[in-house]
Amino acid sequence: MFLILGLVGLAPAALADPAQVATTTSVALTSPDSMSIDIAVSVSVADGSAPDGVLQVAIRSADGTFALDLGQHAVRGGTYRTRYSVPRPGVYEVEGRYSPSNSTDTTTYAASSGTSTVDTRVRAPRLYLKARDLGNGVLEVAGNVSAFNGDKIRGGSFEVRVPGRTPVTLANDRGGLVNAFFEDLPIGRSHTAEVEFRPSAGSGELGVTRRITKELTQERHSSYIGATGSSPRRGVARISAYMYPNYPAGLVGKVAIRDLRTGTVVARIATMRYVEIKPGVVRTLTGVSPGLHRYTATFTPAPQFRSTTMGSVSPVLKIVVR
């Protein structure tokens, strides 16, 4: 829950009668969420007493599209409190006007008024950015957005801008990581990408913009191969290879899986292209001696990609074979 504080406005009364005691009306506002305002209107005097009386409370939007008189309310003990549901997220002003009640007291209090504003829109979301040098002058910019409390935001869009290149617009339909690619950028220089998140209309979210800078140094595209594994039964090692999405699209090659204990290639994948961790490409080894084995997967690009794309070796995979 967000608590967005309003600015307290107060105005002491202009005394119509020197015998009157000046009062001050102050309005304090908090926004527990994008569609609600907690209102506390207090009336006080210099000697610290809290006079009884009547408050006239009104609310209006800063853009002038909404206004409502919340009516008269008795104020006892100096403060009137209520919660009001607004029609839409935005900036609102609340005014409180105090009138003293009829009293047999010899002291007569003066009227007074106060105003305050509050922005009920949720706080700016968190925009996470990552930039990667994919080699051969290609910059990848990845990002996702979450609410201030960590909740995933779905909807809206991103616009990614790099000087001298056509901006890329990406939908945020799934609320996950989005990627933009910029080609033919000069190598040996730093490049700055500006990413703007634009929330869906009526969502109550705020937009946010961030920049990220990355130096491009790789002459060729990078690749990434990974491997997971297990020993489902005695003498068996099960290895699953996967390849992260990289550049260029359609990258394909072959994979050799090597047992580092013996230094020998124990399995091959003739055709390897982008595949996620699950399901991966699985190879099952049988007749493996019990104990700890260490494996790596080596990706070699197909001939048509070798001039522009580097091969890669997975982190060491450790499997304790039963």
Half-sphere exposure at residue 149, Cβ-oriented, CA atoms within 13 angstroms:
7
Confidence band, pLDDT 50/70/90 cuts, at residue 9: low
What is the per-residue pLDDT for 123? 67
Comparing 4-119 with 225-321, is the CATH topology the same? yes
| Average pLDDT of the chain, as a whole number | 88
Q: Bigger pLDDT: 2 or 212?
A: 212
Supply the CATH classification number for the domain 126-215: 2.60.40.10
- Cβ–Cβ < 8 Å for 94, 29: yes
DSSP state of 169: E
The whole-angstrom separation of Cα 224 and Cα 275 is 11
DSSP state of 219: S
Angle at 240 between CA 238 and CA 243, to 5 degrees: 165
Q: pLDDT above 70 covers what percent of the chain? A: 90
H or E element that contains 261:
none
* Average of per-residue pLDDT across 28-41: 86
CATH 2.60.40.10 fits 225-321, yes or no: yes
Residue 5 has pLDDT above 50, yes or no: no
The pTM (predicted TM-score) of the whole model is 0.57
The whole-angstrom separation of Cα 277 and Cα 293 is 21
The whole-angstrom separation of Cα 297 and Cα 184 is 30
Residue 172 is which amino acid? N
Confidence band, pLDDT 50/70/90 cuts, at residue 304: very high
What is the per-residue pLDDT for 102? 62
The whole-angstrom separation of Cα 197 and Cα 207 is 5
The whole-angstrom separation of Cα 216 and Cα 204 is 38
Fold classified for 4-119: Immunoglobulin-like (2.60.40)
Sign of CA dihedral 238, 244, 247, 249: positive
Q: How far apart are the first and last CA of the chain?
A: 51
Residue 217 is which amino acid? T
For the stretch 169-214, pLDDT in tens is 999 998 889 999 999 999 999 999 999 999 988 777 788 999 999 9
Confidence band, pLDDT 50/70/90 cuts, at residue 22: confident
- The dihedrals phi and psi of 208, each to the nearest 5 degrees, come to -150, 145
Boundaries of every domain in the chain: 4-119, 126-215, 225-321
- Bridge partners of 159? 169, 196
Q: Bigger pLDDT: 255 or 16?
A: 255
